[in-house]
Chains A and B, each alone.
Chain A
Amino acid sequence: MSTPNQTEDQPRLLVALQDLDQMIREVEDKETSAELEAMGFSLDGVEKIREAREKICSRIKPQLLNRYQRVARNLDRTVVPVVNELCTGCFAKVPTSFRYEKGAVLTCENCGRMLYFT
């Protein structure tokens, strides 16, 4: 198990984690998985996806991972980018004090989602 690297891009890891969680949700959703299997796709490797998820989690700083897990309980899209000074989850304007900072993870004051700058 690796430990979080202080220089690693945390927003990038959070987005990758969210992509994996979405993949796992689709496999676990009976309707979606039935549709994919009817097309001919095999979804047998979900354990490998869970392993990849654990590896990513081990690279995320604990306080950010806790925040992610807390927000993810209530919202599908937990991590979203700031685009044109808007939270792309709820489209509320972010405060002007939110300025681009590489690697920063902020919180939307309106919906609570985790925000990052692209």
Chain B
Amino acid sequence: MMPNELASYFKDSLCICDLKATSKVDALSEMVDAICTSRAIKDKGIILEMLLNRESLGSTAIAPGVAFPHGRSLAVPDLTIVFARSESGVEFDAVDKKSTHVFFLIIAPPQDRDNLYLQVLGQIVNLVRDDAARKAFARVATYEELQQLIGSQSE
């Protein structure tokens, strides 16, 4: 996958710039709600359960202020990414014990083209490697800003 392809996986309907939740379960639930509405998926529970199980493997809040909940589920037809930003922060069992403000939620079906899921996850983790980038994502207020930022970070 080319670095400049990454932005095409982010959709307006899956960009939440004012996440309301303050707990891990509620934050995941709010993001999965967006997926179910956007992709007409009936069974929210399957996706939510998979993500919570993945969190029990080890917290995905591995960068300061940023979490990458991810996993594979038959419930989604293709690679799906939610971007979410919380002004007040979410208690997400972060490695550094601090609140999480930025979320990149990535779900892929069990089998996908060229293991795209891991490539996308790796590129997203790299997007926020430096402090300036993390701060910029924490300020994103619109989908257009998100697209611009991903574009500039992927160059």
Contacts and interface: CB of A to CB of B under 8 A. Distances in A.
Interface string A19-63: 110110011000010011001111111101100100000000000
A62 B95 CA distance: 40
Given A35-B118, A76-B111, A118-B42, A45 B56 contact: yes
Interface in B115-155: 118, 121-122, 125
- If over half of A's interface residues share one DSSP class (helix, strand or loop), that class is named, otherwise mixed; here it is helix
Contact of A23 (B43, B71, B74, B111): B71
Interface string B57-93: 1111011000010011111000000000000000000
Interface in A64-103: 76-77, 79-81
Contacts of A44: 57-58
Interface of B: 42-43, 45-46, 49-50, 53-54, 56-60, 62-63, 68, 71-75, 95, 110-111, 118, 121-122, 125
Interface of A: 12, 15-16, 18-20, 22-23, 26-27, 32, 35-36, 39-46, 48-49, 52, 76-77, 79-81, 118
